A and B are shown apart, each in its own frame.
Chain A
Amino acid sequence: MKVYCLSEDPNKPCFVIKLKSVTIMLDCGLSAHSVLNFLPLYPIPDWKPNKAAAWIPKNFSDPQIEGELNECMTNQVLVNSAPEFMTPLTKLVDFADIDVILVSNYMTMLALPFITENTGFKGVVYMTEPTLHIGKLFLEELVDFVEQSPKPNVAKYWKEILHLLPPPLCNSFKPHTWKQLYSLAQVNSSLTRVQMISYDQKIEITGALTVTAVSSGYCLGSSNWVIYLESKKLVYVSNTSTLTTHPRPMDQVNLKNADLMLLSSLTQAPAANPDSMLGELCLSVAVTLRNNGSVLIPCYPSGVVYDLFECLSSHLDSTALGQIPMYFISPVAHSSLEYSNILAEWLSQSKQNKVYFPEEPFPHAQLVKSGRLKHFKHVYTDDLWNDLRQPCVVFCGHPSLRFGDVVHFVEYWGTNPQNTIIFTEPEFPYLEALAPFQPLSMKAMHCPIDTSMNFTQANKMIKDLKPAVLILPECYAIPPAGFGHKNEFVIDQVDRKVLTIKRGEVISEKLDIKTVNVPFTTEMVVSVTLNELQSGLKASKFTAVLDTKDNKYKLDILRDDLLANKTTEPYLLETLFKKTYEWGQLDIDRFLRALTNEGVSDPKIEHNTHGYTIHLKSEDTLIQVDDKSTHIFCEKMDKNWRLKLRSIVMECLNSF
């Protein structure tokens, strides 16, 4: 088998594995890191402050660069263009060859239209029902954010003069490969290729392998994958959480004892404990509100935000701030809230049990009914401004602060030092995200909440699951910069073969397949009679025909017409088709009795170290017998005698 790595970010994974004749893509994450290099898109165009001045490199003049670059107050240089994203590598694998794409969760599918549209892709995409529904919301929201403030110009020239640009722009990773976002039409076309599956469903792929999604505990419908190829078991571990939040708990049992494990998507905030971050968040929200300030929480439209609604509302209740309204602003806010309440099967047991009463599984349904949590499509709807009451808490996207309704709120609230912006999504460095908005008076807090496994949890899991071979993103084998030699930030490389992989690399790993599964015809099944030869073990010899056409095997009985093709000589037919296999020891007493019955009267027996030698002088025959063999030296040229002797010996042996 071969493993290809198509993504440079292990949290936006994209792998391809080729197994036998099947090509499988594992996840297709979209890295949005690149968008930090672009100027923010303002959702309300006339509400656009002018903090960024045009910029060109010193001592450089080329009209092509004009208008492409701006410098903000922090001296960071940003590109004035529609934002661009880092998509999976296209050169390593032809997307037209992909048979299936397995999508682990809605966060790791955002590059899907780049893979399936206009690439010749003909395969099927498998994901769970929540991944499809919520993933669709993520894709729609992203398209909406980027399309609501269209940029007429596409800046390209700056990529030619990277060496003249200041950091971090000059360190951009292969900006030539960056792409503008897909359209809504492409999203919809891409999603028509999706087939929904359940956890623990066995999906056969081209008859060669079986694939099963198992719960990964990270978010609604999130999966890890188990792939069976004959007797070999491969597992792919994507975002996985061992914490108790709202999703169904992680299934470890099905991941045990794999021949190979591919690991990705560990926490992006390895030094932050999600529970204490959540605690800090609640505290600082309460402090801000009490000082009459409002709180802005950049977020994605599903996932941790549900836990934030739940924890924050109960914290505010307990601190007499229960009257403070919360606003959830997203083009898909309503759908997200509605969907969260119809996916009970995919929730933790305690949330699932509520449905039986029947109560909505998430408390935010009640918060919406009571008017404490309000949802709006956009920041530019009048409804919102008629309703908005400060102080309040606003949840909106996008966490990069480069597009979406959050851009407006950062500017709008940024001048007031009583307000606070709290970053919970660990994906983007928050100071870099805030750079184009500086100077800001609003307080900024960093409370990264990533429920994915940390290195300690991952090491424990690997130890429990015992994969024979482990493949890791290269960066999981090296402690991150600034953390020195701390091995709590690396994956242990003991007890098993560990291979590392990075973007653009291919690993070949031989799978030692011991057996292949072969179907047989009904006649063949009927023809076999198993005998119990050892206690608990039944066996039977067979002579049959293996059809090997097109490398697909099938076992059938030997049919007469096939025999006739080969030969008509009886001795050949017998040699080819009738086999006996003797076992055990020769029953010597029985043998001698049988000889006597046949009229052989003068056997002379000699014992030796191995067994016996029997002379049959009158028949000119010598027989050597030991535990494992009987050797007949027959000098008498009489076929009948030899065959008679043969049948006597065979009667005194077990045969199979």
Chain B
Amino acid sequence: MNISNRIIVTPLGAGQDVGRSCILITIGNRNIMLDCGMHMGYQDERKFPDFSYITSDGNITDIIDCVIISHFHLDHCGALSYLTEHLGYHGPIYMTHPTKAIAPILLEDMRKHLVEYEEEAKYFTSSAIRDCMKKVTAVNLHEVVTVKEDIELKAYYAGHVLGAAMFYIKVGNDSVVYTGDFSMTPDRHLGAAWIDKCRPTLLITESTYATTIRDSKRCRERDFLKNVHECIDRGGKVLIPIFALGRAQELCILIDTYWDRMGLKVPVYFAAGLTEKANSYYKMFITWTNQKVRQTFVHRNMFDFKHIKPFDKTYMHNPGPMVVFATPGMLHAGLSLNIFKKWAPDEKNMLIVPGYCVSGTVGNKVLSGSKKIEAEPNKFIDVKMSVEYLSFSAHADGKGIIQLIKNCEPQNVLLVHGEEEKMKFLRAKIMQEFNINCYMPANGETVEIETANIHTFNMSTKLVKEILDDQSNNLGNGKRLVHGAFLLKNGSSNLNAMSVKDTFKELDIQRHTLRFTCTVEIKESSTIQKTKTKLYNMLENNLPIFKNKLTMSDGSISLASILVTVEDSMDNNKKKIVISWANEDEPLGNHVLEMLQNMSKSD
């Protein structure tokens, strides 16, 4: 159908990369920005998505119809206040309620770090964050939100962190599902991502762990606790750099219950003073956690920790074993980096990194085995403490991504938020297993996907009735031959079907009837009436398909648009047969004419 459309996708960030997620999509005439993240691995302009791609030709609010934020991680929402307060975007922004509640806290946390280390962070003020969040509309799971009349949004549960959502976006007949970050396995406080068979034109999925088949969560939890326990047993200090919200709550539940069970007395601290506040959010958004936490919340709040106490900066110099959770999670700044600098040279100590560290961060360098870290210009730190990477960040693995594709049945897949090599591997796998296209554009690279996505049309009940009443179109087995017309009004996504007659009426176009009339003389001496009956019988026998379209009245025989009349001829032994038909029945009309001509010849 030539009302086919295109979906255009351009990653401004997270194209063959992890960090500063920001994907621009165009469906129909609508431009939508998916996430607006910040890259924690860079200090320069690469920190932000490449907004110049959009702003070079005009006002950003005129170009972008809406912005969707998948979850509160800074690599997904970190540049939002820059977009609204610096670049002046003032169109609609959507995110879930928990994201709207928690994102400003992480933004504020990041702002403090940036202001400490960077000159150019002047635009980045607390009031800018507040003003930005005022522009946000919060959505509920599964609620269908209509934006600017023709964009439909629907959020699905994504697991990953509290409030994380996958978004289904539909414009006209085309649709996109954007996963943000998601996890397909439930954990200690969150459930698994879920989506129905919504059959999007395109699925844009993260692919952080594209090639990993992940071992069971229980094993990782056991390893984590074993590592922690061994370290404190030898008198060491354990540093766990972490985001204040999200994985932190899961690990706190884990440590708290373990300390309880083992009767441990070694102090556990949570830095940043955020804990109590953070836990309030978890409590009030308990409906976003998993079944078990939800069912018990009235009697026991899972987020009231018995063994975890607030941390004070001075504690890092205390002797003896301890466990400290500190922000930020990638050791790129702030308290966790300070503690690391202090504890790294002692081999008794241990660093457990429970999440992904983007390249460029100290966390990333340590994890890739660097034993000397340049924490400040020309100041190197020897890393003697043991370093463990425990992947607790809840992303789907390859198997989970394949499962998601099976669940929602997309027509195309596009990978973002991953590393090029791993993406290539997953891409091949998807194309092979599902026989669909799979794309993996780099930042700034545009993918265009042709679509032909009208799946249904509205058929007039009048036409349906005409079809069912007319036996001559019965092809057997419930199948009916239909002649009709499609009509599409500009700007409407509803294709209508009706009879040709009604279509002309709707189009306000005058139909032009083309008719043929021919005369044949046949040898026939009986009355006009008898001749008519004879002809009628002949037509009935020869054209059984049209049996119920054949009628005989006083004046004539009619079959569809064909009219046959009998008149007396000058010659008493002959009759004049006048046959007339409309152009739409030309082959049949001509056939009947030939039948009559044969009669006249054979006489």
Contact = CB atoms under 8 A, between A and B. Distances in A.
Interface of A: 129, 197-202, 212, 230-231, 334-335, 338-339, 341-345, 352, 355-356, 358, 360-361, 513-520, 522, 525-526, 528-530, 533-534, 536-550, 553, 555, 558, 562, 565-567, 570-572, 574-586, 627-635, 637, 639, 642, 646, 649-650, 653-654, 656
A537 B454 contact: no
The prevalent SS among residues of B at the interface is mixed
B481 A129 contact: no
A579 B3 contact: no
B148 interface: no
A642 B516 contact: yes
Most chain A beta-carbon neighbours within 10 Å: one of B100, B145, B456, B506: B456
Given A571-B588, A632-B515, A516 B483 contact: no
A555 B284 contact: no
Interface string B423-450: 0000000000000000000000000000
B479 A634 contact: no
Contacts of A656: 485, 500, 504
A342 B515 contact: no
Given A536-B490, A539-B487, A548 B143 contact: no
Contacts of A335: 298
A159 to B, nearest CB: 41
A515 B497 CA distance: 9
B298 A334 contact: yes
A31 B237 CA distance: 65
B511 A628 contact: yes
Most chain B beta-carbon neighbours within 10 Å: one of A342, A361, A570: A342
Interface string B1-32: 11100000000000000000000000000000
B142 interface: yes
A514 B284 contact: no
12 contacts: A352-B97, A358-B280, A517-B459, A539-B485, A542-B484, A567-B545, A576-B481, A579-B584, A580-B583, A633-B517, A633-B518, A649-B514
A344 B460 CA distance: 44
Interface in B155-213: none
Contacts of A550: 478
A526 B452 contact: yes
Contacts of A553: 459, 464
Given A199-B143, A574-B587, A629-B514, A546 B480 contact: yes
Contacts of B477: 549
B298 A631 contact: no
A358 B588 contact: no
Given A517-B456, A534-B508, A635-B519, A525 B284 contact: no
Nearest to A538: B488
The prevalent SS among residues of A at the interface is mixed
Contacts of A650: 514, 583
A358 B281 contact: yes
Contact of A338 (B298, B459, B514): B298
Contacts of A581: 500, 504, 511, 584
Given A545-B482, A631-B515, A200 B456 contact: no
A356 B143 CA distance: 20
A340 B190 CA distance: 21
B486 interface: yes
A533 B513 contact: no
Given A335-B298, A534-B508, A541-B484, A198 B141 contact: yes
A66 to B, nearest CB: 46
A344 B514 contact: no
B517 A342 contact: no
Contacts of A201: 142-144, 154
- Range, interface on chain B: 35 or more
A566 B454 contact: no
Contacts of B480: 545-548
Interface string B543-587: 101000000000000000000000000000000000000011111
Name the 4 nearest CB pairs between A and B, nearest first.
A549-B478, A515-B458, A574-B587, A575-B588
A539 B486 contact: yes
B225 interface: no
B468 A566 contact: no
Nearest to B152: A202
B520 to A, nearest CB: 8
Contact of B512 (A334, A537, A576, A583): A583
B516 A342 contact: no
B297 to A, nearest CB: 7
A519 B101 CA distance: 42
Given A358-B101, A566-B545, A642-B516, A545 B481 contact: yes
A456 B284 CA distance: 38
B597 interface: yes
B261 interface: no
A371 B555 CA distance: 99
A227 B286 CA distance: 31
B314 interface: no
A516 B461 contact: yes
B511 A546 contact: no
Interface string B305-330: 00000000000000000000000000
B283 interface: yes
A634 B504 CA distance: 29
B459 A355 contact: no
A629 B506 contact: no
Nearest to B289: A342
A231 B461 CA distance: 11
Contact of A530 (B143, B473, B486, B504): B486
B286 A342 contact: yes
B509 interface: yes
Contact of A356 (B2, B101, B287, B543): B101
A553 B545 CA distance: 23
Contacts of A360: 284
B288 to A, nearest CB: 9
B460 A514 contact: yes
Nearest to B276: A358
Contacts of B587: 570-572, 574-575, 578
Most chain A beta-carbon neighbours within 10 Å: one of B140, B284, B452, B464: B284
A198 B143 contact: yes
A630 B511 contact: no
Contacts of B141: 198
B457 A634 contact: no
B482 A584 contact: no
B169 to A, nearest CB: 15
B277 interface: yes
B408 to A, nearest CB: 16
A550 B462 CA distance: 19
A355 B133 CA distance: 14
A604 B201 CA distance: 62
Contacts of B455: 519-520
A516 B511 contact: no
B507 A533 contact: yes
A646 B586 contact: yes
Contact of A542 (B140, B297, B473, B483): B483
Contact of A629 (B456, B512, B520): B512
A520 B486 CA distance: 12
B591 interface: yes
B594 to A, nearest CB: 8
Contact of B481 (A515, A540, A558): A558
A551 B226 CA distance: 63
Given A516-B461, A536-B489, A575-B585, A530 B506 contact: no
A582 B145 CA distance: 45
Given A200-B143, A201-B144, A578-B587, 16 more contacts: A199-B143, A352-B97, A515-B496, A518-B459, A520-B457, A538-B488, A543-B483, A546-B467, A547-B479, A572-B545, A582-B511, A582-B583, A631-B514, A632-B515, A634-B518, A656-B500
Most chain A beta-carbon neighbours within 10 Å: one of B133, B452, B488, B496: B488
B97 A344 contact: yes
B263 interface: no
